[in-house]
């Protein structure tokens, strides 16, 4: 938690549940990434947190943007981004959304299938297109592999066809999965994509860009490698494969930029044992899986939790949300321990919750309003 967030929570005691996010931390994360990978173009993954203050700060810092939907494209433009800085990175787009983005001046689009390429040729003629390749997601806490991407052979064919269809075959992309803690995933993926790059050059198509996706981790409960480790591995792999003839390197960080800038403040609604003398206490918070903490599905993302009783004796707990839904359990098997003194009415903080929280929140499950958001 940044000192600014800590001070805000202490002084303002905002109603729970809420997110408090330190925009200066967004800036320092962005700067750290730019310093670590000075040759990369940073396209902030808007879906991680599309709040206006975040976008405006990043516009001021010269960031580009990766938008998942037309509403995100428009949010970037409204925050001051130029259309040339916005990539429409979802490989699944309605024709109407492609038309709207193209009309707004967006000229870079992702795809990973023949059908989508045809839509782009029709509704965004002349645009720069890049094809997403399916790569291994081993090492990622939130893997993405099955739904997106295509194999190298299909990508080759599609990139050849793109030029014939009046599009600009611009580059290739991959995604190693979100909260990726292994540098090897990037190295293997770069190797795979580099071969196709060469192969396509021999076939007369000069790609100019490699999009490494996002995935850089934030520290949650466990330590993660620093960004320098990823930067070194990436640049070694890139120069190893491309030498001095480096293509444009695009990265799409979301979690890394906003994750540790935000803290969710929540209230303990109930602490109880399901049956007498059960060693496990159940701790119910006023936010849960359907209130924004969707990434605790399968206990994938393990947030650190601080309480007013930290330092005192602890015991094992299960941690759940406030709804009547039996699936609204965050942690039951991840060996969480919380202070024995924890009780209803206590305020707790879930750290590094700046990414992938506010937007997942259900609009009103069980009647609960989405969490409030404070950008400071």
In the region spanning residues 129 to 158, those forming contacts with a second copy, defined by CB under 8 A, are 134, 137, 142-151, 153-154, 157
Find tokens 């190298």 and name the residue.
152
Which 189-248 positions form the footprint of a second copy (CB under 8 A)? none
**H-type alpha helices, 203-226:** none
Residue 117 falls in which region: left (phi positive, over 0), alpha (psi -120 to 50) or beta = alpha
72 makes contact with a second copy (CB under 8 A): yes
The dihedral over CA atoms of 254, 259, 260, 264, expressed in degrees to the nearest 10, equals 160
Please, are residues 258 and 356 in contact by the beta-carbon 8 Å criterion? no
Grouping H, G, I as helix, E, B as strand and the rest as coil, residue 254 is coil
Least distance (Å) between residue 223 CB and a second copy: 24
370 makes contact with a second copy (CB under 8 A): yes
How many other β-carbons are positioned within 10 Å of the β-carbon of residue 305? 23
354 makes contact with a second copy (CB under 8 A): no
The interface region with a second copy, picked from 36-44, 189-197, 235-243, 367-375 by CB under 8 A, is: 367-375
When the beta carbons of 171 and 177 are compared against a second copy, the nearer one is 177
When the beta carbons of 89 and 217 are compared against a second copy, the nearer one is 89
Least distance (Å) between residue 232 CB and a second copy: 27
User: Exposed e or buried b for every residue in 227-239, given b needs 16+ CB within 10 A?
Assistant: beebbebbbebbe
When the beta carbons of 306 and 366 are compared against a second copy, the nearer one is 366
The interface region with a second copy, picked from 160-168, 179-187, 225-233, 343-351 by CB under 8 A, is: 343-351
Residues 6+ apart with CB under 8 A from 174: 132, 133, 134, 135, 149, 189, 192, 193, 211, 212, 213
Is 85 annotated as catalytic?
Answer: no
**H-type alpha helices, 61-210:** 70-78, 95-103, 114-123, 152-164, 183-202
What's the DSSP call for residue 150? B
Please, are residues 334 and 355 in contact by the beta-carbon 8 Å criterion? no
When the beta carbons of 151 and 310 are compared against a second copy, the nearer one is 151
Least distance (Å) between residue 244 CB and a second copy: 33
Site string for a second copy, 6-45 (x = CB under 8 A): ----------------------------------------
78 makes contact with a second copy (CB under 8 A): no
Least distance (Å) between residue 31 CB and a second copy: 25
Least distance (Å) between residue 363 CB and a second copy: 5
Least distance (Å) between residue 373 CB and a second copy: 11
Find tokens 């390749």 and name the residue.
133
Q: Residue 129 is inside which H or E element, if any?
A: strand 128-133
Per annotation, catalytic residue among 76, 85, 272, 324: 324
Cis amide leading into 17 (omega within 30) = yes
40-45/64-67 β-pairing: parallel
Please, are residues 27 and 260 in contact by the beta-carbon 8 Å criterion? no
Which 278-317 positions form the footprint of a second copy (CB under 8 A)? 282, 284, 286, 290, 294, 297
123 makes contact with a second copy (CB under 8 A): no
End-to-end CA distance of the chain: 13
Among 26, 40, 46, 108, binds a second copy (CB under 8 A): 46
Among 9, 124, 227, 320, binds a second copy (CB under 8 A): 320
Which 79-118 positions form the footprint of a second copy (CB under 8 A)? 89-90, 92-95, 112-116
Which 168-197 positions form the footprint of a second copy (CB under 8 A)? 177
361 makes contact with a second copy (CB under 8 A): yes
Which 253-282 positions form the footprint of a second copy (CB under 8 A)? 267, 269-276, 282
**H-type alpha helices, 1-69:** 3-12, 23-36, 52-60
When the beta carbons of 153 and 223 are compared against a second copy, the nearer one is 153
The interface region with a second copy, picked from 22-30, 67-75, 198-206, 222-230 by CB under 8 A, is: 67-75
Least distance (Å) between residue 264 CB and a second copy: 15
Find tokens 């999009």 and name the residue.
211
Interior CA angle at 99 toward 95 and 104, to 5°? 150
Residues with a catalytic annotation lie at 324
């Amino acid at each position: 938690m940044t000192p600014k967030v800590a001070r805000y929570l202490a002084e303002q005691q905002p109603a729970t549940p809420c997110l408090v996010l330190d925009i200066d931390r967004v800036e320092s994360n962005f700067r750290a990434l730019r310093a670590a990978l000075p040759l990369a173009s940073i396209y902030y993954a808007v879906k991680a947190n599309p709040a206006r203050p975040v976008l405006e700060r990043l516009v001021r810092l010269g960031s580009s943007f990766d938008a998942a939907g037309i509403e995100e494209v428009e949010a970037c433009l409204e925050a001051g981004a130029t259309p040339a800085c916005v990539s429409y990175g979802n490989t699944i787009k309605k024709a109407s959304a492609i038309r709207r983005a193209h009309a707004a001046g967006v000229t870079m689009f992702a795809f990973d299938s023949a059908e989508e390429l045809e839509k782009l040729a029709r509704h965004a003629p002349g645009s720069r297109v890049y094809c997403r390749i399916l790569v291994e997601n081993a090492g990622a806490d939130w893997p993405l592999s099955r739904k997106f991407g295509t194999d190298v052979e299909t990508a080759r064919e599609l990139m050849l066809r793109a030029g014939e269809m009046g599009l600009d075959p611009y580059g290739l992309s991959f995604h190693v999965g979100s909260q990726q803690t292994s540098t090897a995933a990037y190295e293997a993926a770069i190797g795979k994509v580099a071969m196709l790059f060469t192969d396509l050059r021999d076939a007369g198509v000069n790609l100019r860009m490699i999009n490494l996706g996002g995935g850089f981790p934030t520290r949650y409960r466990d330590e993660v490698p620093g960004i320098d480790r990823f930067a070194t591995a990436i640049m070694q792999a890139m120069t190893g494969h491309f030498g001095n003839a480096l293509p444009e390197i695009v990265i799409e960080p979301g979690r890394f930029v906003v994750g540790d800038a935000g803290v969710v403040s929540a209230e303990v609604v109930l602490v109880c044992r399901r049956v007498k003398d059960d060693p496990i206490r159940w701790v119910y918070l006023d936010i849960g899986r359907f209130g924004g903490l969707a990434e605790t599905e399968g206990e994938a993302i393990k947030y650190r939790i601080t309480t007013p009783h930290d330092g005192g004796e602890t015991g094992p707990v299960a941690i759940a949300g406030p709804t009547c839904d039996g699936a609204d359990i965050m942690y039951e098997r991840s060996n969480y321990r919380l202070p024995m003194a924890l009780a209803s009415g206590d305020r707790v903080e879930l750290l590094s919750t700046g990414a992938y929280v506010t937007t997942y929140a259900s609009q009103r499950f069980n009647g609960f309003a989405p969490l409030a958001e404070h950008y400071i």
